[in-house]
Amino acid sequence: MHEFSLAVSVVEEAADILKKMGGKKVLALTLDIGILSGVSPEALQFCFPEVILGTCLERCRLHINQIPLLVYCPQCQREEQVEGPFPLCPRCQEVKIEVRKGKEFNITNMEIE
């Protein structure tokens, strides 16, 4: 549980981007959070309104896209989306797979003025 400090990092990164773009305020922010990232979307959403007080993100809307696990199975030779956090092929139960998505913690979209 370190989502408060992660929320502070989100605000710092967003403020940095805003400054580079010459904007004044961030109105909306979209994050991609992978299921294996170790970040809890609920906890982040919970502390976000506190963290943004007095910053250029004050009153900013936060959207979170939860990214499910996407694996490549060399046995089936295809990508498969996995329900839940277990990195194994849902078709053949193979464990020797490659994780292609599910570890993200990215800002993907910002609305600024």
List interacting residues with other proteins (CB under 8 A).
Answer: 1-2, 5-6, 9-10, 12-13, 17, 21, 23, 27, 31, 36-39, 85-88, 95-96, 99, 104-113
CB of 53 to other proteins, least distance (A): 18
Amino acid at 103: K
The percent helix, strand, coil of the chain (3-state, each to 5) is 25, 35, 40
Distance CA 105, CA 11 (A): 13
Of residues 46 and 86, the one with the C-beta less far from other proteins: 86
CB of 94 to other proteins, least distance (A): 9
